[in-house]
Amino acid sequence: MMKRLLTGNEAVAQGAYEAGVTYATAYPGTPSTEILENIATYNEDIIAEWAPNEKVAMENAIGASIAGARALAAMKMVGVNVAADPLFSFAYAGVNGGMVLITADDPSLHSSQNEQDNRQYAKFAKIAMLEPSDSQESKDMLKTAMEISEKFDTPILFRMTTRVCHSKGLVEIGERKEASKKPYAKNLAKYDLIPAVSKKLRAELEGRLHKLAVFADETNLNYFEWNDSKIGIISSGVAYQYAKEVFGDKASYLKLGFTYPLPAKKIREFAAQVETLYIIEELEPYLEEQIRQMGISCIGKEKIPNMYELNPDIVAKALLNEEKPLIQYDTSLVVNRPPVLCAGCPHRGFFYELSKKKNVVMAGDIGCYALGGAEPLNAKDMCICMGAAPSIGHGAQKVFDKFHENMRVISTIGDSTFFHTGINSIMNIAYNRSKTITVILDNRITGMTGHQDHPGTGFTLQGTPTKALAIEGVVKALGIDYVRTVNPLNLRQVRDALDWALALDEPSVIITRWPCVLKKQSPQDKEEFGAYMATCKVDTDECIGCQMCVNTGCPALRFDQETEKAAIDPVQCVGCEVCVQLCPAKAAVKVGE
């Protein structure tokens, strides 16, 4: 049988193909993004779509399942918060075609605003849960999840983590098993979740959980590995891999792949045959708490941290008090390299001008533009969650106005984020009338997660040309009368637009429209923006060493402390001309098209 080296995300996509999935949907978010991008390559067999947000993605997959097809929705862990409304209700109804919700959790917050353990959602929503620990399991368990979903009439929560999503392993490749579409039949007693129906389904849900609990003890997704009985380890997901690396055959294992409901019988059998029982899991004591409730003594979070990503070194130090020797070096010689906006990023010019405004509170959102709050721009005061900036800005502005404080709120949000949940926020601003200024940073793509299309780009996930929603038209339809679109690399346009909005006593929207510097230009981009890539340089004879160009934070700019002259790296520079506009000595010039 052929094997391929795949990430966990790629393996899930292969599993979806082999399982006969017909419909797959997602909103991009690290570490889940590549799941749908890879599923989209099976375009003859699977309909793959980007949804504007995770709630819509979940609802799309529910509709596909009710229609009789196998379906999945994928998202990062905070996206499940957005999708929770339909998830909890659909748990009552159950499926027709198999339905899997993939949650990609992000321990250590590599690319997230919080660190939450979404295993709790399975228990909370009362649905079955599977947890793969490597790429092969990611493929195999996805296929099994579809079978369990249909057998037990339940949506499945499929919990992955960053390490499983992005690490690679050899995976056996199989053929697609075309799952026959189940017939659709009108069934109000199952899918019409009015109170009278849901009350009956609530009781059925408990019966379903009882059957799943019996299955948990029978399935080979939960299995023993018997070695030395002095130490026993119960683990799941990637934490199982860490445990194996640390203890090897010096411990016995109960490897859990089906983790809600838990296999109580197997857990008790395992615990009775080992002297010391460790629960190794990431993040919260999800397994530990339930095992302790069974009356079983174990060691878990009193030694293993419940925050940040685990690794073998952490496990070894916590449980064995062993530490590997590290190479010693002078840490003072290591240069701090925080993330920065790319050279030529269209957000830089806007944030530079925004940072100069006084008596302004700046509410940011989730995206590349989150870096606008870092040195040297310092153009952000807060960021809570995706789509929140306009809403937060509205609430803050209302309070400032009530107490007659001379403060204005400017909220920044990206184009994909605007379509995600920013539309509702701006609708609220128009409806409840605050003089909040909302800036939609339209870089023509979903930038931070790797250039995925959205309703404003004109293309679907599988490359089909489609209707491109014009942000300006949408904003006006939401009730905003004062709207301007500017080129964010033109500092005068940005400055004039900010001054215009600050002079208004009404809600306003500024749209900064320029492509992400890394975006592959479409024919439409070339027609609208032209061939704008070029290079700039600094004439050292004219440079006066004022460092105004360097204060933009552009990584293509350098300042030599000895010569007190600025320089531009031609490899990184794309000729955005922000530094050219700022240079008082006209030493920075554009030199090539």
525 and 541 both lie in a single domain: no
**Do 387 and 491 lie in a common domain?**
yes
pLDDT at 79 over 90: yes
The reply to whether 112 falls in a domain is: yes
What confidence score (pLDDT) does residue 309 get?
96
pLDDT of residue 109: 92
Per-residue pLDDT, 530: 87
pLDDT of residue 326: 87
SS3 226: coil
Q: Say if 127 falls within a structural domain.
A: yes
pLDDT at residue 137 in the model: 98
Kindly indicate the confidence band of residue 1, based on its pLDDT and cuts at 50, 70 and 90: confident
Instruction: Among 182, 217, 252, give the residue marking a domain's end.
Output: 217
Is residue 338 a part of any domain in this protein? no
Residue of 495 and 336 predicted with greater confidence: 495
Examine the domain organization and report whether 56 and 101 are in the same domain: yes
- The whole-number pLDDT of residue 376 equals 92
- The per-residue pLDDT of the chain, averaged, comes to 95
pLDDT tens for 10-49 read 999 999 999 999 999 999 999 999 999 999 999 999 999 9
Helix (H, G, I), strand (E, B) or coil at 162: helix
Query: What CATH number does the domain containing 22 carry?
Result: 3.40.50.970
21 HSE (CA, 13 A, CB side): 32
Q: Are residues 38 and 91 in the same domain?
A: yes
Residue 241: domain span? 222-320
Residue 174, pLDDT > 70, answer yes
Q: Please tell me the distance from the alpha carbon of residue 551 to that of residue 375, in angstroms, as a whole number.
A: 9
178 — pLDDT class (breaks 50, 70, 90): confident
Q: Tell me the pLDDT band of 315, cut-offs 50, 70 and 90.
A: very high
In a domain, 406, yes or no: yes
* Tens digits of residue pLDDT in 507-558: 999 999 999 999 988 888 889 998 888 999 999 999 999 999 999 999 999 9
Does 128 lie in the same domain as 246? no
Same domain, 493 and 551: no
The residue among 184, 217, 250 that closes a domain is 217
Q: Would you say residue 572 lies in a domain?
A: yes
Q: Kind of pairing, strands 437-442 and 408-414?
A: parallel
Could you tell me whether strands 557-560 and 565-568 are parallel, antiparallel, or unpaired per DSSP bridges?
A: antiparallel
Confidence at 337, pLDDT banded by 50, 70, 90: confident
**Domain at 580, CATH number:** 3.30.70.20
pLDDT for residue 311: 96
Whether 22 and 163 share a structural domain:
yes
Tokens 């030395």 locate to: 228
Same domain, 524 and 549: no
Whether pLDDT at 390 is above 90: yes
* Confidence (pLDDT) at 522: 86
CA 227 vs. chain centroid, Å, equals: 39
Residue 332 lies in a domain: no
Burial class (CB in 10 A: 0-12, 13-18, 19+), 498: buried
Cα(316)–Cα(11) distance, integer angstroms = 29
Q: Give the E-state strand segments of 139-275 in sequence order.
A: 156-161, 168-172, 222-225, 231-236, 252-256, 258-260
Structural domains of the chain, count:
4
Are residues 207 and 80 part of one domain? yes
Within this chain, do residues 428 and 571 fall inside the same structural domain, yes or no?
no
Q: What is the pLDDT of residue 593?
A: 62
Q: Which of 194, 217, 240 is the last residue of a domain?
A: 217
With respect to residue 314, please indicate whether it lies within any of the assigned structural domains.
yes
Longest dimension (CA), the chain: 82
Distance CA 362, CA 354 (A): 9
Q: Indicate if 230 and 200 belong to the same structural domain.
A: no
Summarize pLDDT for 269-313 with one digit per residue, the tens. Answer: 999 999 999 999 999 999 999 999 999 999 999 999 999 999 999
Based on the fold, state whether residues 377 and 511 are members of the same structural domain: yes
User: Looking at residue 247, which CATH number applies to its domain?
Assistant: 3.40.50.920
Q: Is 331 within the bounds of a domain?
A: no
